[in-house]
Amino acid sequence: MEKIVLPEIKDFHLIDVYLANGGFNAARKAFGQSPDDIIDQVKKSGLRGRGGAAFSAGLKWSFMPKTTPKEKYLCVNGDESEPGSFKDRQIFEFNPHQLIEGIIITCYAIGAKTCYIYIRGEYHKWIKLMEKALADAYEQGFVGERMKEKFGTSFYCDIYVHKGAGAYICGEESSLMNSIEGKRGYPRVKPPFPAQFGLWGCPTTVNNVETIANVPPIISKGWDWFAKIGEPKHPGTILFGISGHVNKPGVYELPSGTLLTDLIYNYAGGIPGNKKVLCVIPGGSSMPPLRGDQLEGVKMDAESLKAAGSAIGTGGVMVMDEDTDLVKVLARIAKFYYHESCGQCTPCREGTGWMLKILNRILRGEGSTNDLDLLISVANNIEGNTICALGEAAAWPVKFMVERFRDYFEERVKKEVKLSVANKVHSMRTTEFPLSEISN
């Protein structure tokens, strides 16, 4: 199987090796065509965003205004804070120049002169590696003003690394832009969308690192080549990061549409001790979890996972074996979102805290069946009521975990209900509960 983003070539991260393997030829080819042609090719290739929403990359680029007196910007999102996701660091470490080349082509296509690569603050090592690669590319004239003579074109762009400082929310595109502007990472209300009003009010495109790294091969080998790889509706290879209870955790670049069971049992070497799978989260912790008995035939691409009741997310697969304490796992996930909620929207700020409190109560053995309904009720009241998608990210795991593992959770809570009237009424929203039973 051909690897597009992480080819198995020794020392590929060095610019000389990259050049010897046809590096920056795609950029050269791109400069011979019009920006609209590039956007058109990426659109036809079917490349979809790898950051979670799986939105068509070419379509996103086409939203950028063609004529504007303002500057245009490109942001490359390498915040990668989704628990279970650890793919972008592989690109920074093993293939930084393909990312740089992808950025150059993208900047040319959308007409941006400046690009910021936002890398999470914890990735000190990978920031240094990326900065080194950038310095090499600058030195050889592939980036910056000297591009003009190198490629014989009138276009040039600058690329900078912006180091984050430990906020999950900055992976959200509008929050990321606020963070680059030197503000608190609060997500912005949309619309206006970044393509109209982005960085410093200028048209901006935000793409994931992996998405951009896919661009050079599409240009050099053709969109029709790319469109044939994997599932037609979500073509290309995807970097799957598999972690948790598997024998060989790690990042595997595989065609989209690879079977989830194939990924777990063949590539990741199965479950230690040949245990059964209890639960799999297929796309990073904010995506709906799947039951162990739901996995047969599930393909790993956006459309198939949607049909299976989950989402591709960032392709971070977390596997839990039969001995896992799911309440503990869910409480830990809830704690994460409680910690990372930026606090702008009340449903998310308060709801994440309540979900954590309820889950901790269940963990202490003091939970009741009502708590399960209350959890779903709180989750439903967060979902869709917030500025950004962190609301959904916090609500989905709780809602779907409780719904899909109802039997498991009911075993962990008491049947008897000892709650105040208010809570009883509240819980009736989702379960049948005769009014006559409310006595006190």
Partner 1 sequence: MEFKFTQENLDKVNEAIKRYPDKLAAIMPTLWIAQEQNGWISNEVMQEIAKILEINPEDVLGVVTFYTMYHQKPMGKYHLQVCTNVSCMLRGAYDIYESVKKNLGIDNMQVTLDHKFSLEEVECMGSCGTAPMIAINEDFYENISLEKVNKIIDDIKKSA
CB nearer to partner 1: pick between 219 and 260: 260
Among 41, 77, 81, 386, binds partner 1 (CB under 8 A): 81
Q: What is the dihedral of CA 105, 106, 111, 112, to 10 degrees?
A: -110
Nearest approach, Cβ of residue 124 and partner 1 (Å)? 4
Residue 182 binds partner 1, judged by CB under 8 A: yes
Residues 338-357, interacting with partner 1 (CB under 8 A): 339-340, 342
Candidate list 41, 285, 352, 427; residue touching partner 1; CB under 8 A: 285
Tell me whether residue 54 or residue 331 sits nearer to partner 1 (CB atom): 331
Instruction: Examine residue 163 and tell whether it contacts partner 1 (CB under 8 A).
Output: yes
User: Distance (Å, rounded) from C-alpha 427 to C-alpha 440?
Assistant: 16
Q: Does 164 help bind partner 1 (rule: CB under 8 A)?
A: yes
Do residues 11 and 96 lie in contact, with contact meaning Cβ atoms separated by under 8 Å? no
Count Cβ atoms below 10 Å from residue 365 Cβ, excluding itself. Answer: 10
Q: Which is nearer to partner 1, 150 or 163 (CB)?
A: 163
Segment interacting with partner 1 (CB under 8 A) among 30-38, 101-109, 318-326, 403-411: 318-326
Per DSSP, 110 falls in state H
Q: Is 289 one of the binding residues for partner 1 (CB under 8 A)?
A: no
Among 22, 32, 36, 160, binds partner 1 (CB under 8 A): 160
Which region, judged by CB under 8 A, interacts with partner 1, from 46-54, 157-165, 346-354, 409-417? Answer: 157-165
Q: Residues 215, 219, 223, 227: what is their CA dihedral angle, to the nearest 10 degrees? A: -30
Select from 111, 95, 119 the least CA-distant residue to 216.
95
Query: By CB under 8 A, is residue 427 in contact with partner 1?
Result: no
Interface characters, 230-269, with partner 1 (x: CB under 8 A): -----------xxxxx---xxx------------------
Annotate each residue in 43-72 with x if it binds partner 1 (CB under 8 A) or - if it does not, as one string: ----------------------------x-
For the residues of 174-188, what is the DSSP string, one character each? Answer: HHHHHHHTTS--PPP
Q: Applying CB under 8 A, does 162 fall inside the site for partner 1?
A: yes
Report strand pairing: 158-163 vs 73-78: unpaired
Question: Does 172 sit near partner 1 (CB under 8 A)?
Answer: no
Least Å from the CB of residue 292 to partner 1: 14
Question: What does the alpha-carbon distance between residue 297 and residue 302 come to, in Å, rounded to a whole number?
Answer: 14
Asked if 324 touches partner 1 (CB under 8 A), the answer is yes
- Minimum CB separation of residue 116 from partner 1 in Å reads 8
Under the binding rule (CB under 8 A), the answer on residue 125 touching partner 1 is yes
* Helix-, strand-, coil-residue percentages of the chain, each rounded to 5: 45, 15, 40
> Could you say whether residue 185 binds partner 1 (CB under 8 A)?
yes
Q: What residues between 188 and 217 interact with partner 1 by CB under 8 A?
A: 200
The amino acid that residue 265 corresponds to is: Y
- With CB under 8 A as the contact rule, which of the stretches 177-185, 206-214, 388-396, 415-423 interacts with partner 1? 177-185
Q: Rounded CA gap, 317 and 281, in Å? A: 6
Q: Is 180 in the site for partner 1 (CB under 8 A)?
A: yes
CA dist., res. 10 & res. 128, Å (int): 20
- Contact partners, residue 205, CB within 8 Å, separation at least 6: 60, 61, 63, 64, 72, 73, 74, 75, 106, 110, 112, 194, 195, 198
Nearest alpha carbon to residue 142 among 155, 130, 129, 125: 155
Tell which positions 7-36 bind partner 1, by CB under 8 A: none
Size of the site for partner 1 (CB under 8 A): 54
Q: Does 359 bind partner 1 (CB under 8 A)?
A: no
- The angle at the Cα of 94, spanning 90 to 96, to the nearest 5 degrees, equals 95
Alpha helical stretches, state H, 383-436: 390-404, 406-412, 421-427
DSSP string for 219-264: HHH-HHHHHTSS-TTS-SEEEEEEEES-SS-EEEEEETTEEHHHII
Please give the residue ranges that form the binding site for partner 1 (CB under 8 A): 71, 80-86, 88-89, 120-125, 160, 162-168, 179-185, 200, 241-245, 249-251, 281, 285, 316, 318, 320, 324, 328-329, 332-333, 336, 339-340, 342
